[in-house]
């Protein structure tokens, strides 16, 4: 009988008891069967972190008020008790400093998206991986939906012919009222430029759409044109936006995102139109995808082994993600990341499906350019299209 692989040990930054994402990541870590949460710095205050650690039954000496204290102490641990990876579930502005501190302490990082809300930081993170061999991934889970994998293969096998149009949509309604003034922490950081970044709905939702549009089709963005605005009185960041796309192939497309579309809670949807038909997928029915012929015949393709989405009771009052299919996809992302760590230690080749640092930088570039395009448009500037480019990152001498 083969010796059972010991579970890799996980440290978590952010994701306290009041965190929406924290419970989802912990569910995925537990479901993975190969990971174990052993320590963390869970909150913006020491007390919140201690309360979370206590509720999770963690060893009190491995619950920290500050992530830097955790890395300083945990980096000195040796043997079987040493943590194997860090997962980052803090607001956007913390993704970069926590990741870099974890690298300094010698730990691989699995970070929530985006890699950073600042392009200087994003490029510096990429530069760090060029200077040192660092294991890193961002938690975009869409490559781990079995139905999306099938749809992607169908497109790339020529199932819809030459692609003419790619549309993605990601609508939420839970921020359609001003929850941030009522103490909602998830809404609070999303409307704060210091914690979310310069844009709201663009940074929160549009990056996922851009990732799926390119990943599923194999096309690359060439240019974009964005409009957006804060719809709820008292906000400064956009909570509703549309991005027009041009692809290098000549195809056109659109990304529509909203945090204020009341009554919406179905996550991301994708439609790809070719000269031989079209394909469609919705996160709310994530185990199926449909193909449509030019004469309108619809074929529903169900992935039998895929988890069927069943959203939680608060689906209209919180971000998308409290969903069995989403957690299953996140679970596979964690398994993939863990397998990569093990393969690296054993000196074995491994091809990961996780979103790596290069793709993360590409999406960070999209976020930044979409924000800049949106600002130009609102100021009445003449530039309608912004050329898409990813900055070249080199190691500084």
Rounded to an integer, what distance in angstroms lies between the CA atom of residue 114 and that of residue 362? 10
> Which residue intervals of the chain bear CATH 3.40.50.720?
8-141+326-356
Strand ranges of the sheet holding 278-282, from the earlier edge strand across to the other edge: 298-302, 288-292, 278-282, 267-274, 163-171, 252-258, 240-247, 221-229, 386-387
- The string of pLDDT tens digits covering residues 368-393 is 999 999 987 555 565 678 999 999 99
Rounded to an integer, what distance in angstroms lies between the CA atom of residue 2 and that of residue 57? 31
pTM: 0.95
> Positive or negative, the Cα torsion across 156, 204, 252, 219?
negative
> Which residue intervals of the chain bear CATH 3.30.360.10?
145-316
- The string of pLDDT tens digits covering residues 9-19 is 999 999 999 89
Residue positions counted in the chain: 397
Backbone angles phi, psi at 225, to 5 degrees: -145, 120
Q: What's the burial of 212, exposed, middle or buried (CB within 10 Å: 0-12/13-18/19+)?
A: buried
Strands 278-282 and 288-292: antiparallel
**Cβ 259 vs Cβ 174: under 8 Å:** yes
For residue 323, CA distances in Å to 141, 143, 169, 181, 308 come to 13, 16, 18, 27, 9
Rounded to an integer, what distance in angstroms lies between the CA atom of residue 47 and that of residue 20? 18
**CATH no. of 8-141+326-356:** 3.40.50.720
Q: How many helices (H) and strands (E) does the chain have?
A: 12, 14
Each residue's pLDDT expressed in tens, for the chain with a length of 397 residues? 345 679 999 999 999 998 999 999 999 999 999 999 999 999 888 999 999 999 999 999 999 999 999 999 999 999 999 999 999 999 999 999 999 999 999 999 999 999 999 999 999 999 999 999 999 999 999 999 999 999 999 999 999 999 999 999 999 999 999 999 998 999 999 999 999 999 999 999 999 999 999 999 999 999 999 999 999 999 999 999 999 999 999 999 999 999 999 999 999 999 999 999 999 999 999 999 999 999 999 999 999 999 998 877 788 989 999 899 999 999 999 999 999 999 999 999 999 999 999 999 999 999 999 999 998 755 556 567 899 999 999 887 6
Rounded to an integer, what distance in angstroms lies between the CA atom of residue 237 and that of residue 232? 10
Q: Which CATH architecture does the domain made up of 145-316 adopt?
A: 2-Layer Sandwich (3.30)
Rounded to an integer, what distance in angstroms lies between the CA atom of residue 171 and that of residue 266? 7
Q: Which two tokens stand for residue 288?
A: 């199926």
Q: Per-residue DSSP letters for 79-138?
A: GGGS--EEEEES-HHHHHHHHHHHHHHT--EEEPSPS-SSHHHHHHHHHHHHHS---EEE
For residue 379, CA distances in Å to 117, 164, 173, 223, 372 come to 22, 31, 27, 19, 11
For residue 30, CA distances in Å to 37, 319, 322, 328, 331 come to 8, 21, 15, 11, 8
């Amino acid at each position: 009988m083969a010796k059972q692989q010991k579970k890799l040990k996980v440290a978590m930054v952010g994701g306290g008891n009041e965190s929406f994402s924290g419970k989802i990541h912990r569910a995925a870590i537990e479901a993975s069967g190969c990971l174990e949460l052993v320590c963390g710095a869970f909150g913006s205050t020491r007390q919140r972190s201690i309360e979370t650690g206590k509720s999770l039954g963690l060893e009190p000496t491995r619950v920290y008020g500050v992530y830097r204290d955790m890395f300083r102490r945990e980096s000195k641990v040796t043997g079987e008790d040493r943590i194997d990876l860090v997962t980052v579930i803090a607001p956007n502005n913390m993704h970069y400093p926590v990741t870099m501190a974890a690298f300094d302490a010698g730990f691989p990082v699995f970070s929530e998206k985006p890699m950073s809300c600042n392009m200087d930081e994003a490029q510096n993170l990429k530069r760090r991986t060029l200077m040192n061999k660092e294991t890193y991934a961002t938690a975009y889970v869409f490559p781990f939906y079995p139905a999306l994998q099938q749809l992607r293969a169908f497109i790339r096998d020529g199932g819809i012919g030459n692609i003419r149009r790619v549309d993605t949509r990601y609508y939420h309604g839970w921020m359609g009222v001003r929850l941030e003034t009522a103490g909602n922490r998830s809404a609070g950081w999303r409307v704060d430029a210091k914690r979310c970044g310069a844009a709201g709905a663009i940074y929160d939702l549009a990056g996922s759409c851009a990732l799926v549009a390119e990943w599923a089709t194999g096309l690359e963005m060439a240019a974009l044109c964005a409009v957006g605005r804060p719809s709820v009185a008292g906000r400064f960041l956009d909570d509703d936006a549309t991005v027009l796309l041009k692809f290098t192939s000549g195809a056109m497309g659109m990304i529509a995102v909203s945090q204020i579309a009341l009554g919406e809670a179905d996550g991301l949807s994708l439609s790809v139109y070719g000269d031989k038909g079209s394909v469609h997928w919705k996160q709310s029915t994530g185990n199926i995808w449909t193909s449509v012929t030019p004469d309108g015949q619809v074929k529903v393709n169900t992935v039998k082994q895929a988890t069927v989405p069943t959203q939680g009771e608060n689906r209209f009052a919180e971000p998308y993600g409290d969903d069995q299919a989403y957690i299953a996809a996140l679970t596979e992302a964690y398994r993939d990341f863990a397998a990569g760590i093990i393969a690296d230690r054993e000196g074995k080749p491994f091809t990961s499906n996780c979103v790596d640092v290069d793709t993360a930088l590409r999406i960070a570039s999209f976020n930044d350019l979409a924000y800049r395009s949106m600002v130009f448009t609102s100021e009445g500037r003449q530039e309608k299209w912004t050329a898409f480019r990813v900055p070249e990152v080199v190691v500084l001498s």
